[in-house]
């Protein structure tokens, strides 16, 4: 099973979980399973058209899926997916 790491700011929408195990063939399927397990995450990760929000970055084994096959990026059973929300602000 692939593992999805949930960043601290999103854990409140995932019942406090820091990671979730899913069985998926692609990054898109993995994220679909994640939001089916934790529906409150859906509006945090996806826009109204069902696309990943622009400020949410997803990595499969340290590779940004935007530079691979996006939601069709293959996922193996031993892969780790990381959700990294962009942080803005500062001086």
Q: How many domains does the chain have?
A: 1
Whether residue 91 lies inside any domain: the answer is no
The tens place of each residue's pLDDT in the chain, 91 residues long, gives: 999 999 999 999 999 999 999 999 999 999 999 999 999 999 999 999 999 999 999 999 999 999 999 999 999 999 999 999 887 665 6
Residue 78 lies inside a defined structural domain of this protein? yes
17 part of a folded domain = yes
- Residue 9 counted as domain residue: yes
Tell me the CATH number at 46.
Answer: 3.10.20.30
| 84-91 CB contacts, 8 Å cutoff, 24+ apart | 84/7, 84/56, 84/57, 84/58, 84/59, 85/7, 85/9, 85/10, 85/55, 85/56, 85/57, 86/55, 86/56, 86/57, 88/55
- Domain containing 28 equals 2-85
């Amino acid at each position: 099973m692939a593992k999805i790491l949930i960043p601290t700011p999103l854990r409140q929408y995932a019942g406090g979980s820091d990671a979730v195990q899913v069985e998926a063939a692609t990054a898109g399927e993995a994220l679909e399973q994640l939001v089916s397990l934790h529906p409150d995450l859906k509006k945090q990760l996806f826009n109204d058209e069902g696309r990943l929000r622009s400020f949410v970055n997803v990595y499969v084994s340290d590779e940004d899926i935007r530079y691979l096959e996006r939601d069709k990026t293959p996922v193996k059973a031993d892969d780790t997916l990381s959700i990294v929300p962009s942080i803005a602000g500062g001086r």
